[in-house]
Amino acid sequence: MTNPLHDALFAPHEGRPTPFLYLQGGGTISHDTFLQEAARMANALGALGVGPGDRVAVHVQKSPQALMLYAACIRAGAVFLPLNTAYTPRELEYFIADSGAALLVCDPGEADVLREIAQDIRVETLGPDGAGSFRDLASGQGAAFAPVPRADNDLAALLYTSGTTGRSKGAMLTQKNLLSNAEALVAAWRFTSDDVLLHALPIFHSHGLFVATNVMLLAGGAMIFLPKFDPDTVLARLPDATTMMGVPTFYTRLLDDPRFGSGSAAHMRLFISGSAPLLAETHRQFEARTGHRILERYGMTETSMNTSNPYDGERRAGTVGFALPGIEVKVCDPDTGADLPQGEIGVLWVRGPNVFEGYWNMPEKTREELREDGFFITGDLARIDADGYVHIVGRGKDLIISGGFNVYPKEIELFLDTLPGVKESAVIGAPHPDLGESVIAVLVPEAGATLDPAALEAAAKRELAGFKRPRHIALLDALPRNTMGKVQKNQLRDRFAKTFQPR
């Protein structure tokens, strides 16, 4: 038996002195050095009693050593469990207990607090500079480690969903899930060993860890490995890159910088965006400024990537393209599960080798969302147009039912975003005594712009059916977002929940 992920992602690079990570401070880590350090960490995991299938919870800042720990877990057959660096100790307590982690690796500054929480498991440290008790243990280990045999369906990672609508769910991702997706993306996006990816994403999330890192390992290229997105640093390092993956905020912040222009991107092969919807206006502005059309794609924690706009052909703003090779998508009635005709809005279902095994310790939730025929019910509202492009309309939980009519927030947001002075918008529903729910529009003005609610209401009256029109317009300096740039509509719903209630 082999170890599929190790054999495909890591083994081909053993002994290769080729650059793998270009660091912010100017240093470089070769493929071979990276793998030797990962082997030492795999030996350290064994010394701590971590065996195949054991969960290793990781709550650390982004660093080359944190990425080496991921490689070490793959080699040792352990299940990698990255945790959002924004989580508080109270939140971490749930993930540690629910996963049954055998080891927690955390930042040195939080070790004492987390040892109190995780009393029954071993706690080691790894700081943003790569130093800590785990690194100390690993440095005394040998640089040879025979990969632990794993099957295609053995778990490789456990990723928890954001939990905005309830208890966070642990998505069980197998060797096959991760490897098949990396293979599909390398082919779809034409990555080769000549590519250098500008990597400013976090690595506790599927985007920065599995999409960016696994793709570059499989292709044999290198990464400019930045701790976070900083416009000055990105602009300085962009000339050394050929590709970039980012969330929409990365691209809007670049566009806000007058130094960013066609010269900054003339040498680039590809810009990719995901993790949150990219505004059509951002598409247009980016193309006008640089000549590049951003490639937008769509994925989930449970599936990694499902669809992508084409590398060759029209990258259509407001869509997430077509299903990746080997993956099926369809739009179904949210109540009956029946297939819907082309163009109608329903819930998107996905099937393919990328689809996860189910939710950790949640068999009932798994049965609800993962069908016996392999289709996963994403919960995302979507439609497929006449040309086959997939349009994500919103989350099922975001659907507003006002006076018996279905209101799709994305449709209204697309309209609002075109109005003069509007930088971005979020549309939510709030309880209404007569209609059940009614529409609230939360708007962020462009820099220096003043928005007149009366004028906005007049524009909505001209362009939108009565049941779709916002009955309340709120202005904010910024929309609440998570670390991956997704608008946190649950926070907006909480904030404006009593807007229409009798005083």
- Please give the structure tokens belonging to residue 135: 């690194």
φ and ψ at 276, to 5 degrees?
-160, 155
- Distance between CA 424 and CA 412 in Å, rounded? 12
**Structure-token match 């982004």, residue found:** 62
Residue 165 is predicted with a pLDDT of 43
- Please give the structure tokens belonging to residue 168: 């966070």
CATH placement of domain 4-16+26-150: 3.40.50.980
CATH superfamily label, 188-354+366-395: ANL, N-terminal domain (3.40.50.12780)
- Are 154 and 357 in contact by the 8 Å Cβ rule? The answer is no
Q: What is the dihedral of CA 200, 204, 208, 211, to 10 degrees?
A: 180
Residue 398 is predicted with a pLDDT of 83
Query: In this structure, how many other beta carbons lie within 10 angstroms of the beta carbon of residue 266?
Result: 11
Q: Decide if 4-16+26-150 and 188-354+366-395 have a common fold.
A: yes
DSSP 90: H
Burial of 60 (C-beta count, 10 Å sphere; 0-12/13-18/19+): buried
**Structure-token match 């819907």, residue found:** 340
What are the domain boundaries of the chain?
4-16+26-150, 188-354+366-395, 399-495
Q: Which pTM does this prediction carry?
A: 0.84
- Distance between CA 376 and CA 302 in Å, rounded? 9
Nearest Cα residue to 390 out of 331, 474, 463:
331
Question: Across the 503 residues of the chain, what is the mean pLDDT of every consecutive 10-residue run?
Answer: 94 97 95 98 98 97 98 98 88 92 97 91 96 97 96 97 68 98 98 98 93 98 96 95 93 91 90 86 91 94 96 94 97 94 96 97 94 94 96 83 78 90 93 82 94 92 85 94 84 92 69
Quick one: angle between helices 248-255 and 280-290, nearest 10? 50
Beta bridge partners of 70: none
CA 381 and chain centroid, separation? 18
- Are 471 and 439 in contact by the 8 Å Cβ rule? The answer is yes
Give the pairing type, strands 222-225 and 196-199: parallel
Q: What is the dihedral of CA 94, 96, 99, 104, to 10 degrees?
A: 160
Beta bridge partners of 416: none
CATH placement of domain 399-495: 3.30.300.30
